[in-house]
Structure 1
Amino acid sequence: MGLLFLANLGLWLGIYAPIQVLLPQQAALLAGTSKEAVFGLVTGVGAAVALVANPMIGVSSDRTTSRFGRRHPWTLAGALVGALGLVVLSSASSVFVMVVGWCLVQAGLNGMLAALTSAVPDRVPVRQRARVGGLVGISQMLGTVLGAVVVTVLVSGVAAGYLACALVVVLGALAFVLLTPDVRLAVRPGFRWRSLWVSPRRHPDFAWAWCAHFMINLGNAFGTLYLLYFLGDVVRHPSPEDGLLVLMLLYGVALAGGAALFGASSDRTGRRKPYVLVAAGVMAFAALVLVVWPTWEAALVAAPLLGLGFGGYWAVALALLTQVLPAASDRAKDLGVLNIANSLPQVVAPLLTSFVLAGLGGYRGLFLVSAVATLCAAGLVVRVRSVA
């Protein structure tokens, strides 16, 4: 579990350090006043690639008979492709090269994500999954916070930031692959392409859980993707990058506490949905704080609230999601379909944000939409019947 934590830490650092800091900075350098549009284009196209990569690599890992194991080859290959994309971004001198580099990052790291996520139902009994989900949530938080620290404090410049992220991604994957065993599949199972579709009629709990996961991630994307621009253009923070680092630290500490607390409590009681509902309520309240009071002081209050809610959600949601999978033999494929609910908001949010900013009163409207999406997720998870 410790090595799984390290691999996930590298993975999330490789995703969130660019999204939170490096891509916005690079978009501003290349596009100036059109930075929001360029940032939305790059992240949107990359997320579209992730939509395909995650389930497809999940399918492949479910059926891999390599002597090196079923999941490990895809973990390492995904890390290397993701690192290559980060190297491409480090020397990008045009928007086109940015798009190509970020597409490689999303393809590689989402393939790595499909393999790593499958390790939870592969290796962890149901009664312990929320605790392990908490560890995964903490790794996501630390990846976000350490990524901000690495690219704003430890290294200087956009290019050096991308190269540092690439190194961390590969080291985390290597540690997990080389130091843990992986089950070798003796016989390759059959596969039909139509099995990528999970019927909501036959598996309604899977469908409701997917929709809830999508909405919670959409709300989080609306609330976090444009924080750097919010700090610079609305709050008028003298150093938006330093301000973002402070917010990420507050967010991260609270996320770790929420993940540990909610995960342990959920495993102890055997219940999942009540904790998801509380987490969604806390996240929605954090967004509403910024609707009412879009200032630096409000951001200092909202960041730890959002972290507490999102950490608690991730800990319990991973357990809940693994309990509604249709078939054990297709875990990675089905988790890949669920992980689309992580990636699709990164496509939808940038496309909708420009309309929200223009038509709903700027960033107040954006944070209001974030709160509404999160509350919708709470309503959807109630419809899951097979999990308490």
Structure 2
Amino acid sequence: MSLALAEPTVLVRGRWTAAVVLANVGVFAAFLGPIQVLLAKQSEAVAADNKEFVFGLVTGIGAAVSVVANPVAGAVSDRTASRFGRRVPWVLGGALGGAAGLLVLSGASAVAVMVVGWCLVQLFCNALLAAITAAVPDRVPKLQRGVVGGWVALAQTLGALVGVGLATLVGGVGFGYIACAGFLLLSVVPYVLKSGDQRLPEKPPLVWQEFVKSFWVSPRRYPDFGWAWLTRFLLNLGNGLGTLYLFFYLQDAVEYGDPGTGVLILTAIYSLCVILTAVSSGSWSDRLGRRKVFVTWAGVVMAGGALVLAVRPTWTAAVIGAVILGIGFGVYLSVDFALLTEVLPSARDRAKDLGVINIANSLPQVIAPAIAAPVVKLFGGYPVLYALAAAITLAGAVLVNKVRSVA
């Protein structure tokens, strides 16, 4: 069997983990700087009276692109027989294309141009994400995946912090996009140069009918994969409902004077709490050999954080909510990632299968605006929105116990 398809047994070194983490920080900065601050500000500048609709339209269409881009790019990555390995070409190409999309957004003054730019970012950055995510089960043995998953979880949080920081501090929406693009390009350099990515001995034959059918992973045949997918979908939908309109929540419900700075402060607090819990909980999970109990309690804690925001739309409550959500999300991200890598059906299709899992990350971005906008406008406002987020999150926390093959 090719080394690219074998179950890894050699522990990875800190240098390799750092390169993977940095690339993840870059891609999540490219995603979350715009989502949390830049696109909201741009929507308000383009259509002040209809900012929620424009923001939801742009992010929703972009998320629809990501639903397709991530698994398709992952599947093609699995079949890439480049001399540089299966993942490196997609990491580099994704960074270049994602940076180009951010540059389009930097000069956008119309909704159509915003949609084009954000779709480019989602298309290419999801190709990058599919490849860099698959690098973990490619190279990391199971007994190390909790702690590596913890570091990867930190990458998402640090990416949010870096992205929001760049979006807020460099001065102006256009320069914010340019800064995110530059950081994205720099972030992938260590992995591209030093990944040690294993190459396939030959390019697998591509039969289009089989290729298309491969994206359906039967929950009847692979029930644990199906339950893991549903759990991640619900937890990400709850999280998406809670964070998508944070800028407008601070502006309109909390009446915070500078909502952009407020988002940055809350993101920093949230990030610190994730940092304090992610790696330690992943390592603890590795030692105990258990995953589900961590995911369940993480979801319960996250639901509690959303309820705080629902009950008390004040700045103090927002800070408390950020602390609670950060603690829960840090545990969830690290341990759930390790759980997911243990229910993948095939080593040959790791990136494709993780791409299907990543639909559970991106599909909520399509659905959340369609739910959040009418709830905020017509059905009770932000208290109802955050109560709904808590209920959905709690459902995901309970259903993870349907996974049978992982303790």
How high is the TM-score relative to the length of structure 2?
A: 0.94
Find 2:253's aligned residue among 207, 211, 234: 234
Query: Residue 63 of structure 1 aligns with which residue?
Result: 79
Query: Residue 12 of structure 2 aligns with which residue?
Result: none
How far did 1:188 drift? 2.2
Residue aligned with 1:245, SS: helix
Does residue 200 in structure 1 map to residue 215 in structure 2?
no
Q: Deviations over 1:75-131 (max 9, x none)?
A: 111111111100000001100000000000000110000000001100101111111
Query: Residue 92 of structure 1 aligns with which residue?
Result: 108
Does residue 30 in structure 1 map to residue 46 in structure 2?
yes
Query: Residue 136 of structure 1 aligns with which residue?
Result: 152
1-side partners of 2:31 and 2:45: how far apart? 20
Query: Residue 159 of structure 1 aligns with which residue?
Result: 174
Does residue 282 in structure 1 map to residue 297 in structure 2?
no
2-side partners of 1:354 and 1:144: how far apart? 23
Does residue 20 in structure 1 map to residue 36 in structure 2?
yes
How far did 1:360 drift? 3.4
Find 1:168's aligned residue among 183, 187, 191: 183
2-side partners of 1:359 and 1:378: how far apart? 29
Query: Residue 189 of structure 1 aligns with which residue?
Result: 204
Spell out the pairing of 1:114-129 with structure 2 (5 A cutoff). Answer: 114-129=130-145
How far did 1:261 drift? 2.2
Find 1:103's aligned residue among 104, 116, 119: 119
Aligned partner letter, 2:125: L
1-side partners of 2:171 and 2:377: how far apart? 34
2-side partners of 1:190 and 1:135: how far apart? 35
Q: Deviations over 1:7-63 (max 9, x none)?
A: 111111010000000000000000102000000000000000001110111111100
How far did 1:381 drift? 0.6
2-side partners of 1:369 and 1:356: how far apart? 10
1-side partners of 2:153 and 2:358: how far apart? 14
Query: Residue 336 of structure 1 aligns with which residue?
Result: 355
How far did 1:284 drift? 0.2
Query: Residue 353 of structure 1 aligns with which residue?
Result: 372
How high is the TM-score relative to the length of structure 1?
A: 0.98
Aligned partner letter, 1:177: V
Aligned partner letter, 1:70: R
Q: Deviations over 1:227-282 (max 9, x none)?
A: 11000001111111111111011100001112122111101101000000110011
Spell out the pairing of 1:247-262 with structure 2 (5 A cutoff). Answer: 247-262=266-281
Spell out the pairing of 1:269-348 with structure 2 (5 A cutoff). Answer: 269-348=288-367
Does residue 41 in structure 1 map to residue 57 in structure 2?
yes
2-side partners of 1:180 and 1:99: how far apart? 33
2-side partners of 1:354 and 1:156: how far apart? 29
Query: Residue 217 of structure 1 aligns with which residue?
Result: 236
2-side partners of 1:302 and 1:261: how far apart? 21
1-side partners of 2:258 and 2:38: how far apart? 15
1-side partners of 2:142 and 2:205: how far apart? 27
2-side partners of 1:194 and 1:71: how far apart? 22
1-side partners of 2:230 and 2:204: how far apart? 29
How far did 1:344 drift? 0.4
Query: Residue 373 of structure 1 aligns with which residue?
Result: 392
Unaligned 5+ runs, structure 1: none
Q: Deviations over 1:305-357 (max 9, x none)?
A: 10111111000011000000011110000000000111001000001112222
Find runs of 4+ consecutive structure 1 residues off by over 3 angstroms: none
How far did 1:359 drift? 4.3
1-side partners of 2:405 and 2:264: how far apart? 40
Identity among equivalent positions (%) equals: 54
Residue aligned with 1:329, SS: coil
2-side partners of 1:82 and 1:31: how far apart? 25
Q: Deviations over 1:147-202 (max 9, x none)?
A: 1112212x100000000100111111122101222111112234512111100110
Aligned-residue Cα RMSD (Å) equals 0.9
1-side partners of 2:165 and 2:91: how far apart? 25
Query: Residue 11 of structure 1 aligns with which residue?
Result: 27
